[in-house]
Amino acid sequence: MSENFDAVDVIITKRGKGELSDGQIDWVIDAYTRGAVADEQMSSLAMAILLNGMNRREISRWTGAMIKSGERMDFSSLSRPTADKHSTGGVGDKITLPLAPLVAACGVAVPQLSGRGLGHTGGTLDKLESIPGWRANMSNEQMMQQLEDVGAVICAAGDGLAPADKKLYALRDVTGTVEAIPLIASSIMSKKIAEGTGALVLDVKVGSGAFMKNVEDARELARTMVDLGTDAGVKTVAMLTNMQVPLGLTAGNAIEVRESVEVLAGGGPEDVIELTLALAREMLACAGRGDVDPADALKDGRAMDAWKAMIRAQGGDPDATLPVAKESHDVLAPADGVLTELDALKVGVAAWRLGAGRARKEDPVQAGAGVVMHYKPGATVRAGEKLLTLHTDTPERFERALESLEGSFTIAPGGSRPDLLPLVIEKIS
């Protein structure tokens, strides 16, 4: 077929800090998806976008073109409203696991399309696959049925949603253009808008263990995504949340599932409970159910019932024993004092090196591998006490994991207090 535009002209426009027209954007996304624009041309355009940015109209049109490259799901036939959550990823971020059944127990359906881990950030699907029998892949029909019957589904996104994003995401990974905020925002939002949810709450992480290291960049990304959702008619809010320190006391797969179940049973670490409830309240409010208090559903067992129903519906056994790693190694406190720092990135890299994560998409993960934290910043510790316990099936991995933990924590004399951001930093709506 003859092409309406020329890839080189589109690249030169953005290279010269010009605005791309609606026609140029629609064409370049479609032509790239069809293979009429080559990878090297698209990587050149991605670099120009990274360096020169895009305005709100351009990003909105770019996102719309990515959505049009595939199918759109529609949940309007369900008997209850829908709300979804997206996290930009972090260390120990198991929030989706207790959150989806909690919101479902409060009368709002949660169609949670999730991903796998790459590098130091964990993947929700990897965590759930440590439950015997649980399966991530579902047809759209199965997903609809489960949303009607159970109210929550956590599964892999099908190939039909925003195929342009899948292609562009892989390209950004190998061309040094991952950090381009217009491309991050359109990648996340094209999938979430195509998924068809009525409301969306974005958990944008900030800190060493997050993609965004400082509040200013996180705020720009959050604002861009909220604008995209709003322009597409999806009620969207974002919360900037703290990822200086890992969430909860575990970073891994099965060990994070175990911690999530503790939260659903009415226990678990305070920060995981706090963030789960904060996000649940936002999701319920966006879906028009702000009158319901999710804390009640945690207390009375409804959230746990929804969790068990959700796991069973996807072939899993919620009562099965979770895998445990064959080997463990303790990291001990070198002195008495107050733990003032525990670096999320270093803990995440250690968990990854122990086998909980992958360096490439096709790598397998170990269900039992990861890091258990015995204390969080602010705690008083004694010399010789366990600070961290490392778990893996392959003990030769301990050495590299311990290397990544060098300088990961600080113990200060008694009376010191850690200088930490609050867990929820700010809300953008």
Catalytic center residues: 86, 165, 172, 187, 191
The Cα 305–Cα 60 span in angstroms is 40
Torsion angles phi and psi, residue 52, rounded to 5: -115, -10
CA distances from 211 to 88, 180, 218 (A): 7, 12, 9
Which has the closest alpha carbon to 226: 56, 396, 34? 56
CB proximity list for 345: less than 8 A, separation 6 or greater: 91, 120, 208, 209
Classify residue 358 as exposed, middle or buried by CB count within 10 Å of its CB (0-12, 13-18, 19+): middle
Which has the closest alpha carbon to 226: 282, 271, 170, 276? 282
102 neighbors 192 (Cβ within 8 angstroms): no
For residue 171 the two structure tokens come to 């390209």
Tokens 């250690």 correspond to 350
Which has the closest alpha carbon to 93: 114, 118, 115, 123? 123
For residue 214 the two structure tokens come to 């400082």
The Cα 117–Cα 357 span in angstroms is 6
